[in-house]
A and B are shown apart, each in its own frame.
Chain A
Amino acid sequence: MKLHEYQAKELFSAYGVPVPRGKLITNPWQAYDAAVEIGGERLVVKAQIHAGGRGKAGGVKLAHGAEEAAKLAEEMFGRVLVTPQTGPAGKKVGKILLTEAVDIEKEYYLAILVDRTAKKPAIMASAEGGVEIEQVAARSPEKIILEHGSFTGDLPPFTARKIAYGLGFTGKQAGACTKMIQNLYRLFFEKDCSLVEVNPLVLTKQGDLLAVDAKAAIDDNALARHPELRGLRDFDEEEPLEILARRYGVDYVKLDGRIGCMVNGAGLAMATMDLIKLNGGEPANFLDIKGGANKQNVINAFKLLTADERVEAVLINIFGGIVRCDMVASGILEAMKEIAVKAPIVVRIEGTNAAEGRRILKEADYPFIVADSLADAARKVVAALPGGKR
């Protein structure tokens, strides 16, 4: 679960990590008062969307005084920001964080994440902050510091010191940086984060260290033990169908094509999408009905899939193991009693009770197109698209 900058900053503050003064506004009329409350001559107006690259898309603006801040915020509300991470549809701005602007002496990068290869938590830092870390990694990898951390939230002080001095801090600032790294490390463990990122970490002209931007993501598998974090999910940031999918207990990701897919298993679902593409089609979604699917899951998944108006043909690919094919077949028929489906449906079912599943579909009133292999299914669904390939 991704957090917004303002939510991450609230967590940072709770863990003693200094951030610039700021206030979240949810409509343009709050902007002026919030700006006055924050004070100062210069303010930053920051769109709160779940995507990087906001700055270049016009989602971060500098304002001189409360009047201008209010004006910029008013313009930004409701705007659709398109960044490399949002996809072509972009994201609509519904929340804005107003903060004081700080006098920047130098920008740094700091992140805590899991090093999957080493199977250890890791701290990544660089004195080249404020730019995308991937660029630094590609251009000058020697400028990235990577240290593995402890297996509890208590990071040994020496590890934090190594990084602080490695970034070039000395004296009081080295102490402040050490403390900040330790605090963020504790946050990472105690809140089960999959990522904590500060970019930029700013050294101000006054000599203070501040987390000017903040990014955090929580491990979805750990949300059950963090009831305090569940309220941070922003439903406005998610596809309505994806929200529905979570309630149904299936994994669904909306994509841009016209062929709706329903598959059991994430790997097979991705391979099915790949195959549709290889055959000249475009998948409309990723949908995994999950291994332990029951009939209700199948019904829900099928409804979800067909609720996408752009779906013009459907491919159902089931490799029954734990999931029984006859159950899937009767689930599909039951779902079709409740919703009128006009799109052609190609079905490929294999594995446990596949013959029985095929029989159920063949005897149904609806003209299902039955495929006998993965390749056959992909060809048939692309051919079934009204108006041919796209």
Chain B
Amino acid sequence: MSIFVDKNTKVLVQGITGKEGSFHTRNCIEYGTKIVAGVTPGKGGQKMDQVPVFDTVDQAVRATGADVQLVFVPPPAVTDAILEAADAGLRLSVVITDGVPTIDMLKVLREIECDDLRVIGPNCPGVITPGEAKVGIMPGYIHRPGHVGVISRSGTLTYEVVAQLTALDIGQSTCLGIGGDPVIGTDFVDCLAAFEKDPQTRAVLMIGEIGGEAEERAAAFVKAKMTKPVVSFIAGLSAPPGKRMGHAGAIISGGKGAARDKLDALKAAGVYIVEDPARIGAAVRDVLTAR
């Protein structure tokens, strides 16, 4: 078991013929992911390597049975890509694209509220279930199958902590980056709930960041519902207030969103806090061996 993606997941890629789309599609295939189709309007009938390309998601789903999509289209096309996935009955849309306007995300998430589609991202590295499927842009080789679920708002910091875990021989059930934007499809609470239910996952590592209230809400969820141990690191303890640090979501303003507030909330909920980013893997090991 794992969450969101596994060895049976059939993936279609929107934007497969673009430079980024084709590069990462090849990496996913190399990892063993079942990439069954690509979608680029006007290029239906062509092939990207061995992958058949269709004009619409609907055609691709009918022909291949794809249930998940990976999105590389430019920011103005993201709304349409998500709506098309919902229309075709896909269950998961992983949006890698960076630079989507916040109002677009508000509107599209509202529009698909009644559909069964889950959106991960935008502006995220995607999801990987080690040894089974990589639906994203993370380097596959740093991962190892195991029992720790990893959720993060960051990209490369996720790779850093995963590498720390793997170096200590601690494998992962599923790792996902949920994205650094203010409005995202899947948040910490959704992932924590999924990991709590997943029999393969024994502990969860949550990597937060300054800005917003996602970590505070996660803390409330952990306190009320989680039986599995949760370890957390929050990036940005040293960040000055009011300054945007790369991610649109990572801005401390109005007294909310400071790293210290988040750590306090998590600590109060019984989450194991690690403040030294070089010792995140070690903290997970300590928690696992203490149980």
Known: A321-B137, A322-B137. A274 touches B99 (CB 8 A): no
In this complex, which of A85, A116, A292, A351 has the most chain B Cβ atoms within 10 angstroms of its Cβ? A116
When C-beta atoms are compared, the residue in chain A nearest to B208 turns out to be A267
Contact B103 A222 (CB under 8 A): yes
Residues from chain B with a CB closer than 8 A to the CB of A272 are 277
A87 in contact (CB, < 8 A): yes
User: Total interface residues on A, using CB and 8 Å?
Assistant: 58
Known: A87-B240, A119-B106, A267-B207. A319 touches B160 (CB 8 A): yes
Binary interface encoding of chain B residues 170-181 relative to chain A, with 1 for a CB under 8 A from any of its CBs, else 0: 000000000010
When C-beta atoms are compared, the residue in chain B nearest to A288 turns out to be B246
Residues from chain A with a CB closer than 8 A to the CB of B129 are none
**Cβ of A35 to closest chain B Cβ, rounded Å:** 32
Give the CA-CA distance A119 to B237 in the complex, in Å. 26
Known: A117-B217, A222-B101, A275-B276. A267 touches B238 (CB 8 A): no
Binary interface encoding of chain B residues 101-114 relative to chain A, with 1 for a CB under 8 A from any of its CBs, else 0: 11111110110000
Contact B154 A265 (CB under 8 A): yes
Residues from chain A with a CB closer than 8 A to the CB of B102 are 114, 192, 194, 219, 221-222
Give the CA-CA distance A201 to B226 in the complex, in Å. 45
User: Total interface residues on B, using CB and 8 Å?
Assistant: 66
A375 in contact (CB, < 8 A): yes
A59 in contact (CB, < 8 A): no
A373 in contact (CB, < 8 A): yes
- Selecting from B33-41, B82-90, B247-255, the interface stretch reads B247-255
A146 in contact (CB, < 8 A): no
Residues from chain A with a CB closer than 8 A to the CB of B210 are 270
8 Å CB interface, A189-229 against B: 189, 192, 194, 219-222, 224-225
A320 in contact (CB, < 8 A): yes
When C-beta atoms are compared, the residue in chain B nearest to A375 turns out to be B278
Contact A374 B278 (CB under 8 A): yes
When C-beta atoms are compared, the residue in chain B nearest to A87 turns out to be B240
Give the CA-CA distance A319 to B242 in the complex, in Å. 27
Give the CA-CA distance A352 to B154 in the complex, in Å. 18
Known: A120-B106, A270-B245. A374 touches B137 (CB 8 A): no
Contact B245 A278 (CB under 8 A): no
Binary interface encoding of chain B residues 277-291 relative to chain A, with 1 for a CB under 8 A from any of its CBs, else 0: 111000000000000
8 Å CB interface, B137-166 against A: 137-139, 142, 152-160, 163
Residues from chain A with a CB closer than 8 A to the CB of B202 are none
Contact A319 B183 (CB under 8 A): no
B76 in contact (CB, < 8 A): yes
Other A-B contacts than A151-B107, A221-B99, A288-B245, 17 sampled, CB-CB below 8 A, are A116-B213, A119-B106, A151-B110, A194-B102, A253-B244, A269-B245, A270-B209, A270-B236, A273-B238, A274-B237, A274-B277, A277-B237, A286-B239, A286-B246, A291-B98, A375-B278, A375-B279
B65 in contact (CB, < 8 A): no
**Cβ of A370 to closest chain B Cβ, rounded Å:** 16
**Cβ of B126 to closest chain A Cβ, rounded Å:** 11
B54 in contact (CB, < 8 A): no
A182 in contact (CB, < 8 A): no
Give the CA-CA distance A11 to B240 in the complex, in Å. 30
Give the CA-CA distance A265 to B24 in the complex, in Å. 18
Contact B103 A267 (CB under 8 A): no
Give the CA-CA distance A203 to B173 in the complex, in Å. 59
When C-beta atoms are compared, the residue in chain A nearest to B111 turns out to be A151
8 Å CB interface, B244-275 against A: 244-250, 254-255, 275
Known: A271-B277, A350-B163. A225 touches B157 (CB 8 A): no
Known: A319-B156, A321-B155. A275 touches B242 (CB 8 A): no
When C-beta atoms are compared, the residue in chain A nearest to B156 turns out to be A265
